A and B are shown apart, each in its own frame.
Chain A
Amino acid sequence: MRSTLYILLAFGMLAVFLEACSGPDTIADLSNESYQLLDSDSSSIIFPSHFRGETTVISFIYTHCPDVCPIITANMKNIQSGLADTSDVQFVEITFDPERDTPSVLAEYRKVYRLNDQFTLLTGQPAIIDSLMSRLHIVAKKAKIDSLQQDSSDYFMQHSNTIYIMDQNGRVRTEYPASVVPPENVIEDLKKIR
């Protein structure tokens, strides 16, 4: 009777240990999915297979966003600079606003915020971007501001504010409030997921 209890206890501890080692659960498994996108050089990128084998920090932005999106980008850069070793980590920012954020506009954003080669900025056909956003529970909707209505092309967006970590196999594992999460929190999880 006592030996059975010890065996059960040992199995229980093993389960807890394995859970701790494997890190957080999967939020979305994209490993068998494929989204054809474009980077800021207009090169075709198949997401997420392009990033297979590397842990990827993912956020969503749009370049006409003057306040919150630059904070998200700054936070991504802070995560990058806080990592002692970034050799197997990629940083991806996907636009909510593919109509205006063409590859050349994303290239300007990359230049303005001095993003290095570990950053990939992605846009694509609106339907494909919508599909990916929907899969990751990202919401963005156009919002007109009265003072801007004289310019019919001007709009802002209400949008989700999320950073994800995707593991080497295309599984999205963790999520954070993008503009306010302390970089250390993301870095700590990256160490578990890598």
Chain B
Amino acid sequence: MVLICSLLFLYACSSGKEQDTNPKEDVIPGKVELSDGWVRPGSKGMMSAVYLTISNGTAKRDTLAEVSSDVAKRAEVHESYKGENGMSGMRPAPNRIIEAGEELYLQPGGLHIMLISLNKDLVPGDSVEIDFSFKQTGTKTVRMPVKAQNP
């Protein structure tokens, strides 16, 4: 009996130690929050765009590494920009860093998530789940409304 108790005690101690040394179990105080999200409507096979605010409420800088959604073949972070002679263009903007305590704004005419080749029609009134993968804080899934225009 004494031997069994001793073994259980040792096992409990050893497993606790393992948890402490595992970097995946690091606790990051605060959290990353996603708010004010909305998605443009679009037809199957076409494009759409996702807008939101990402607030890094943790004490560490984080990076938006990947975005995905079941409603589109691919999702990428892009940026609209103004070029020469007032021309409008768009370019990829991967791995956006969000400093600790700061916010990243994805807004019409600037940074946005592009949903490429929609798997279905998105119409106002629908809602869409989007997965956001952050390097520090992991993946967050948010459901956002489809709207023609943010009021």
Could you tell me which residues of chain A, from 87 to 136, have a CB within 8 Å of some CB in chain B?
A: 108-109, 111-114
A10 close to B (CB within 8 Å): no
B106-117 toward A: CB 8 Å interface, digit per residue (1/0)?
001100101110
B32 at the interface (CB under 8 A from A): no
> Of the candidates A70, A74, A148, which one forms a contact with B116 in the assembled complex, judged by CB atoms under 8 Å apart?
A148
A residues within 8 A CB of B116?
Answer: 148, 154
- For the complex, would chain A's binding face be called helix, strand, loop or mixed by DSSP majority? mixed
CA distance A146 to B87 in the complex (A): 20
Q: Does A179 contact B (CB under 8 A)?
A: yes
Distance to closest chain B CB from A107 (angstroms): 10
Determine whether B145 belongs to the interface, using a CB cutoff of 8 Å to chain A.
no
A139-B92 in contact given A66-B42, A71-B108, A147-B76 (Cβ < 8 Å): no
A70:B40 contact, CB within 8 angstroms: yes
Q: State in angstroms the CA–CA spacing of A113 and B149 once bound together.
A: 9
Question: How many angstroms from the CA of A146 to the CA of B91 in the assembled complex?
Answer: 9
Determine which of A66, A113, A139 lies in contact with B114 in the assembled complex, contact meaning CB atoms within 8 Å.
A66
Asked if B59 is at the interface of the complex by the 8 Å CB criterion, the answer is no
Q: How far is the CA of A147 from the CA of B89 in the complex (A)?
A: 16
**Residue with the highest number of chain B CB atoms closer than 10 Å, among A65, A66, A154:** A66
Which of A12-20, A26-34, A155-163, A184-192 is the contact stretch?
Answer: A155-163
B16 at the interface (CB under 8 A from A): no
CA A184 to CA B42, docked complex, whole Å:
28
Q: A112-B123, A158-B88 in contact; A67/B49 too (CB < 8 A)?
A: yes
Measured CB to CB, the closest approach of chain B to A25, in angstroms, equals 20
* Minimal beta-carbon separation of A88 from chain B (angstroms): 26
Indicate if B43 sits at the interface (CB-CB under 8 A).
Answer: yes
Binding site for A on B (CB under 8 A): 40-43, 46-49, 74, 76, 78, 80, 82-83, 85-92, 108-109, 112, 114-116, 123, 148-149
